[in-house]
Amino acid sequence: MRHCYQATSNMGKVVCCVATLLVVAGCIVTKDVTEEPELRGGHAKDVSYILLSDVAVTEFGVLSTAAGTIKVARSVTTASEGLVPSGTVMRLERVVYRQHPEDGASLLPMAMIQSGQWQGREVDLRHLSRNVREAGRNPYTFYILEPDPKYLKLVTSPTSEPERNITGTEQLAP
CA separation for the pair 170, 150 (Å, rounded): 21
Domain annotation covers residue 61: no
Instruction: Tell me if 69 is assigned to some domain.
Output: no
Euclidean distance between CA atoms 79 and 56, whole angstroms: 13
Question: What 3-state DSSP class applies to 138?
Answer: coil
Asked which of 3-17, 19-33, 149-163 is least confident by mean pLDDT, the reply is: 3-17
Structural domain harbouring 150: 27-48+87-172
Q: Is 167 part of any domain?
A: yes
Q: Is residue 3 included in any domain, yes or no?
A: no
Q: How many domains does the chain have?
A: 1
- 160 lies in some domain: yes
Q: How far is CA 14 from CA 8, 27, 85, 87, 91, in A?
A: 10, 20, 51, 54, 46
- Asked, for residue 20, whether it belongs to a domain, the answer is no
Residue-wise pLDDT tens digits, 75-98 = 999 999 999 999 999 999 999 999
The pLDDT of residue 172 is above 90: no
